[in-house]
Amino acid sequence: MADKVKFGIIGIGNMGRGHSLHVKKISNVELVAVCDIDPKAFDRLDAETRAKVRCYTDSESFFNDPELEAVIIAVPHYFHVDLAIAAMEHGKHVIVEKPISVHKAEAERLISACAKYPDLVRSAMLNQRTLQAHVKLKKLIDSGGLGKIIRINWIITTWFRTQSYYDSGDWRATWAGEGGGVLLNQCPHQLDLMQWLFGMPEKVIAQVKIAKYHDIEVEDEVNAYLEYADGSIANFITSTGEAPGTNRLEIAAERGRLVLEDGELRFTRNEVEVSTQIKEAVGGFAKPETWECKINIPEDVRQQHAIIIENVANAILKGEKLIAPVEEGIRGLELGNAMLMSGLKNIPVTLPLDGAAYAEMLNGLIATSKYLKKSATGVHQGDMSSTY
């Protein structure tokens, strides 16, 4: 059996260029081909890679490359589904960048196509699942260590972006080009983690602000309230217009309060479960006694995207379980779609989301758009490693 999987990358922009460097850190992966509709994109590759890989400007020839076994799809979101399906039709394993598509109905189209190719490995690039803090958090929650969750609060406002970022590509932050703003580009990571850690809510009520901080036509601030079937609730707050911004996940549970912030996990553990204390305590204000627990998070020694790519290679070579199967990518997307729909229509949205109604709303936004992008500078953002 081969010991290396021959990979290709389609879309050599900010992220695709990044992946061309990530693959160098993985012993069982070899980059053999790249594709971009803009031939200038190949100049973004380092000299060693540029000299080694075959460069294509049309996806059909790229997918027909006989050596290619797996592809990473790193083009703007609207093209993810068609290209992922085309890759599978050509017998290639796929990694689809986040979000797997722009809206739920398209994600369903991709997932139905996946079912036709059970022998191919299909992953989403939900790289934040690999961060040790998130792995630890998931273990703690799944083990029942927190008891029943009562309330979740995620403030994720560290996704600051400048106007120059939005101006760098004509697809960015438009309904037709990107299908949304912070919920479609930056937050897919946290939206996925929300569902990965806590499951899907059954109701979403959100406020979204369009172009509050930037000259764009999509949302750059969101304040959402979620309700789960078991009665727990959540608040999810995000923005690309705030600095320095906050990334704080607070979980109030029966057994105490867990906070993930500044790379630390702090658990204030109740000696008695909250519901028991409410029922049985004698004094009117007596909270449970607590213990302060510092939970050690192992160091992130490996680059997060490289872990996903290596996992896919291992899945192909030896059947390793996927960290982020593409089919799971629909859930965070659905959550973001529900927030946008609730905010734009000013209505509570119940889940499962009506994918056709969402697609109709989005098509309406595209059809009635009056927004004109002043400039697409095409200036690439260089090192993005501080922004993942």
Residue ranges in contact with ligand NAD by CB under 6 A? 10-16, 35-38, 41, 59, 74-77, 79, 97-98, 125, 127, 169, 185, 380, 388
Under 8 Å CB-to-CB from 303, ≥6 apart: which residues?
22, 25
- Shortest gap between Cβ of 45 and ligand NAD (angstroms)? 11
**Residue whose CB is less far from ligand NAD, 12 or 111:** 12
Q: Which two tokens stand for residue 350?
A: 């119940």
Least distance to ligand NAD from the beta carbon of 221, Å? 19
Residues facing 151 on adjacent strands: 233, 252
> Which of 286, 384 has the CB closer to ligand NAD?
384
What is the number of the residue whose Cβ is closest to ligand NAD?
Answer: 13
* DSSP reduced 3-state for 211: coil
Quick one: which H or E segment has residue 274? helix 274-280
Tokens of 289: 């006694």
Residue 6 CB, shortest distance to ligand NAD, in Å, is 19
Least distance to ligand NAD from the beta carbon of 276, Å? Answer: 42
| Shortest reach from residue 188's CB to ligand NAD, in Å | 7
Q: Which is nearer to ligand NAD, 11 or 336 (CB)?
A: 11
Beta carbon nearer to ligand NAD, 252 or 323: 323
- CA of 176: how far to CAs of 79, 150, 172, 214, in Å? 12, 39, 9, 17
CB neighbour list of residue 342: distance below 8 Å, 6 or more residues apart: 204, 205, 206, 208, 224, 348, 349
DSSP per-residue string spanning 286-320: -PPPEEEEEEP-----S-HHHHHHHHHHHHHHH-P
Beta strand 233-239 with 219-227 is: antiparallel
State the amino acid at position 268 in one-letter form: T
Are the C-beta atoms of 238 and 159 separated by less than 8 Å? Answer: yes
Least spacing, CB of residue 44 vs ligand NAD, in Å: 8
Rank residues 105 and 308 by Cβ distance to ligand NAD and give the closer one.
308
Closer CB to ligand NAD, 10 or 149, in the complex: 10
Say if residues 76 and 173 touch (Cβ distance below 8 Å). no
Query: Nearer to ligand NAD by C-beta: 9 or 152?
Result: 9
Rounded to a whole number of angstroms, the minimum distance from the CB of residue 185 to ligand NAD is 5
**35 or 218: whose CB is closer to ligand NAD?**
35
Nearer to ligand NAD, 63 or 267 (CB): 63
Residue 80 C-beta: closest distance to ligand NAD, Å: 6
End-to-end CA distance of the chain: 35
CB 28 within 8 A of CB 5: yes
For CA atoms 68, 70, 76, 77, give the dihedral sign: positive
Q: Which region, left, alpha or beta, applies to residue 218 given φ > 0 means left and ψ of -120 to 50 means alpha?
A: beta
CA distance 385 to 28: 23
Least separation in angstroms between residue 99's CB and ligand NAD is 7
